[in-house]
A = this chain, B = another copy of it.
Amino acid sequence: MSPSVKVKERIALGTKTERKLEKIDVLDKGYVRLVDVMGDDLRVVNAARVSYAKESKQLSDKDIRLIKFLAREGHTSPFRHAMLSFEIYAPLMIARQWWKYVVGSDHVMDAWNEASRRYITMEPEWYIPDENAWRSKPDHSKQGSGEPVDRAIGREATQRLKRQLEEGLKDYEWALEAGIAPEQARLLLPSAYGMYTPWYWTASLQSVAHMLNQRLAHDAQAEFQAYARAVYELVKPYFEHSLAELLKNKEI
């Protein structure tokens, strides 16, 4: 197996002893798994210094200053020689926003492979916020959420969702048994925004940082912030300096 195939828990070099994680659970049934990493801070530096025809072997203070300079001046191409692959399991409403930041931005060094309900028979699972997890409308913004709603309202929301899932699932199963094609039967799937979907995402460090800059922000949907935080924790030990600079001025 190639040395880059497995991301293992291990002791990081450098000043800190850091435990590298493979996988972080998110929401009630989701997760982010770091599948692989290519490159490190030194790689960014060496890509930027290609003209000097020699490779630094260890990250110097001068190298760290170069990383700061590149991030500050928007010279982002060296950060595209570092790549990361993730496996993600998240509700469709998150998958669609995530995708939007892939396409909608110009950050195209991304690969994406996602399961499709057109033919798979994978058991459907749903994100079901518990009674404390429902949030009110924000006061002064067109997007995001405000404070939690009253407990009683939260309780009813969870109940309504569960009942809708239960009844809708009966419709869906009836349709499959009645021989309706899966690509059409899915019209009867309840709460599709909350249905979990798995996908593979491969992206450059620049693209990952772009997503983090947007989705760690306060007006991002709370569920997405949870995924962004997991991505952040998984990536940080591998690109200590580059990630810090690309996310500068973000209090995380």
Contact = CB atoms under 8 A, between A and B. Distances in A.
A189 B174 CA distance: 20
Interface in A144-196: 144-146, 149, 153, 156-157, 160-161, 164, 167-168, 171, 174-175, 178-184, 186-194
Interface stretch (A43-51, A227-235, A241-249): A43-51
Nearest to A112: B103
Nearest to A115: B51
Given A179-B136, A180-B149, A42 B122 contact: no
**How many copies of the chain does the oligomer comprise?**
4
Nearest to A10: B3
A96 B96 contact: yes
Interface string A88-115: 0100110011011011111111111111
Contact of A180 (B97, B136, B199): B136
A206 B129 CA distance: 39
7 contacts: A80-B111, A109-B110, A118-B143, A135-B180, A144-B181, A157-B175, A183-B221
